[in-house]
Homo-oligomer: A and B are copies of this chain.
Amino acid sequence: MSVWSAAQPRACFPLLTQQSELIWLDSAATTQKPLAVLDAERAFYEQINANVHRGAHRLGHAATEAFEAARSSVAHFINSPSRQQVVFTRGATEAINLVAHSWGGSQLQAGDEILISMLEHHADIVPWQMLAARTGAMVKPIPLTDALELDLDALAAMLSPRTRLVCVTAMSNVLGTRPPLSRIIAMAHAVGARVLVDAAQALAHDVIDVQALDADFLVFSAHKVFGPTGIGALWARMELLEAMPPWQGGGEMIARVSFDGTTYAPPPLRFEAGTPAFAQAVGFAAALNWLQQQDRSAIAAHETALYQQLAAGIAHIDGVHILGAPHDKGPIASLAFATAHPYDVAQFLDNADIAVRVGNHCAEPLMQALQQHGTLRVSIAAYNSAHDITRLLAVLAETLELLA
């Protein structure tokens, strides 16, 4: 396996080169963008820009082709059997809301159960609570073990023919935990339940293969994978998409409209009402293509090494520890402090130009389970370096002394 040097990727990111002192350890909130992404989106606006799926002119055709090629890139990145299974959304959140409204609204009824991992982001909790309120279905949290892993024994006990859906993240945005997806999916399928995988955090780090996973639904956001804001996607099994009623209405998603009745287009267009974020789709594809051109296993090894450097360093600083020690985890760490307030720590890190996130990370149920008001999260991406971690550890130690 070749070694990844972060110097070269950092050079691809204009924000990081222009602010050479900045240490960006908040990639789980949003990633920085490589030049290739900014250039692709700009070139689209400067050379092609036209509305899609309706052109009677060469720019319209070119825009449609660029947009649909972007869909193919996304499909290819997650090994989708076809590009028709990729529905563009604003991001992971809208993708989950789409499944909840369309699939959930048409399939679930009172008495049905939705099992949601305690690791989930609000995006994978609130839409299901809202659906439960509409349909009478029940939402049940899947608890964690002491090591902060999903409790698969508890899950096994909860699964029943009433279970219609299991919602689980591919990587916790707070702890980095990677639940054993294949096992969870097999367990859920054994009782006839569907599984929605939230790949929002995992996509920038792990190779995701929807066919190997045997997932039913998978969601993600471009802005967390080096792509633009305003775009993301839902992937689903074709037979599920085909049976799903439309959610939003408007242009693009219809076959025929009249005041006497309207018929809808097949997937994916059925779920893409209105002008899509086509320029962002092009940027999204550029981001995935950029990532695919890198040596992904070298990046993964590099991220793991940085995480280990971080963990080893934290172990030597008094008054702080990393929450949870799950068996399998990505390069995300939540720090808890003996006495210091995480906001104060982040404030001093910010003074030293180190960007981290503090708070509940849109995962309040997990915070309650952890009995934390908030944590300080350090999240690592391909462009981080050993220097970033060294500096973080030094400023952290100094800050904790100051605050003691």
A residues within 8 Å of B by Cβ? 14-15, 18-19, 22, 26, 29-30, 32-33, 38, 42, 45-47, 49-51, 54-60, 90-94, 96-97, 100, 116, 121-123, 125-130, 139, 141, 221, 223, 228-231, 246-254, 256-259, 261-262, 273-280, 343, 346-347, 349-350, 354-359, 362, 364-365, 368, 376
**A107 nearest CB across to chain B (Å):** 16
Partner of A279, one of B94, B228, B248: B228
A98 to B402, CA, bound (A): 49
Q: Do A221 and B275 touch (CB < 8 A)?
A: yes
Which residues of B lie under 8 Å from residue A221 when comparing CB positions?
A: 274-275
Q: Do A346 and B57 touch (CB < 8 A)?
A: yes
**A217 nearest CB across to chain B (Å):** 15
- Offer 6 A-B interface pairs, CB within 8 angstroms, sorted by A: A15-B47, A26-B51, A26-B60, A29-B54, A123-B273, A127-B249
Q: Do A278 and B93 touch (CB < 8 A)?
A: no
Q: Do B250 and A123 touch (CB < 8 A)?
A: yes
Does more than half of chain A's interface fall in helix, strand or loop, or is it mixed? mixed
Q: Do A356 and B56 touch (CB < 8 A)?
A: yes
Which of A130, A139, A249, A258 neighbours the largest number of chain B CB atoms within 10 Å of its CB? Answer: A249
Partner of A51, one of B30, B262, B279, B280: B30
The answer to whether A276 and B229 touch (CB under 8 A), given A26-B51, A251-B121, is yes
A354 to B60, CA, bound (A): 12
**A288 nearest CB across to chain B (Å):** 17
Q: Top 7 closest A-B pairs, CB basis?
A: A93-B274, A230-B277, A126-B249, A230-B230, A93-B250, A56-B346, A123-B250
Which residues of B lie under 8 Å from residue A54 when comparing CB positions?
A: 29, 357, 359
Q: Do B94 and A273 touch (CB < 8 A)?
A: yes
The answer to whether A56 and B350 touch (CB under 8 A), given A46-B14, A121-B251, A365-B257, is yes
**A347 nearest CB across to chain B (Å):** 7
Which B residue's beta carbon lies closest to that of A360?
B257
Partner of A92, one of B42, B247, B274: B274
Q: Do B280 and A56 touch (CB < 8 A)?
A: no
Partner of A362, one of B92, B230, B251: B251
